[in-house]
Amino acid sequence: MATTLLDGRQWVADGGLETDLLFNRGVDLPHFAAFPLIDDADGRTLLRSYFTEYATIAAAAGAGLVLETPTWRASPDWARTLGYDAAALDRVNQRSVELLRSLPAAGEVPRVLVSGAVGPRGDGYLAGGTDPDEAADYHSVQVGSFAEAGADLVHAMTITGPAEAIGIVQAARAAGLPVAVSFTVETDGRLPDGTPLGEAVSQVDAEAPPDWYGINCAHPTHVLPALDAGAWQDRIATLRPNASTLTHEELDVMEELDAGDLGLLVSSTEAVRERMPSIAVVGGCCGTDSRHVAALWGLPAPERA
């Protein structure tokens, strides 16, 4: 399926929003959820400042900019835990899109896409459910809010198994939105449920193909074992790696940030991109900030706003 929304361009995405807020900016994020910041004036100011750094990178690179809403946890189960009812959840998802629409571009950014970020129903490091229909029903709540707010696409990130990916694609198609699915992998290049990455892509493509796929929340050295030169690799258009080479299990219990080896991150990302030239969207995930993303684009770190 053609990735027409990406328009043959290269695109900058942001870094690890939640880890940047937690460890670099001292923001408390109960249940690793950033979306409550949307309901607070200071929180909105902080988010604008955060995303402006990536607009600066995109402008310097002459690349497009994918702005992912801070809503990875903004789905019904997580929202309920945080005290958000259905109306409040709809409000915060829609306002997330509106916030990014209002962000002034820094310099000349050729094009901006506002992406409604969807996370897994469960923990991003554990294998998810096995019922695509159940996943479609669950995620349709958040996807519907994005459609109502006018998001350009839905991006499901840190997805741990094919079934949930199929359900999210079905929900996005029902809402009339383009959709990308990014899987996460363990150190052996397999999904947390044990499925080889290429097999996961093929399974989802057979049932409900998204517009494109991505890989996130894994160091590039963990992605390399999955690459077998299969045709499925041409479907990967997004790469948002972790800074650290630690396993998901190790990262999950860390109380200090592992910002990783920047040189290794850059060189191993280049190695992945050499083997997957279809990658067009490059940002970061856990442990990364604008310094890491700028380095992945061969640029100096932007001044922190």
pLDDT digits (tens, 9 = 90+) for 187-206: 999 999 899 999 999 999 99
Q: What is the pLDDT of residue 260?
A: 87
- Domains of the chain and CATH, by start: 9-296 (3.20.20.330)
- Lowest mean per-residue pLDDT among 19-28, 110-119, 129-138, 252-261: 252-261
Report phi then psi at 130, rounded to 5.
-120, 10
pLDDT digits (tens, 9 = 90+) for 63-109: 999 999 999 999 999 999 999 999 999 999 999 999 999 987 656 89
Q: What is the pLDDT of residue 254?
A: 67
Residue the block writes with tokens 């991505």: 214
d(CA 78, CA 300): 37
Average pLDDT of the residues in 41-61: 96
* pLDDT classification of 1: cutoffs 50, 70, 90: very low
Q: Which of 144, 172, 141, 145 is nearest to 156 (CA)?
A: 172
Question: Using CB atoms within 10 A of its CB, is residue 191 exposed (0-12), middle (13-18) or buried (19+)?
Answer: buried
pLDDT digits (tens, 9 = 90+) for 259-284: 889 999 999 999 999 999 999 999 99
Long-range contacts of the stretch 102-106 (C-beta < 8 A, 24+): 103/48, 103/51, 103/52, 103/55, 103/67, 104/52, 104/55, 105/55, 105/59, 105/65, 106/52, 106/55, 106/56, 106/58, 106/59
pLDDT digits (tens, 9 = 90+) for 219-263: 999 999 999 999 999 999 999 999 998 877 777 766 777 788 999
Question: Which has the higher per-residue pLDDT, 257 or 57?
Answer: 57
d(CA 138, CA 124): 16
Q: What is the pLDDT of residue 250?
A: 77
Is residue 279 within 8 A of residue 237, CB to CB? The reply is yes
d(CA 15, CA 233): 23
d(CA 63, CA 66): 10
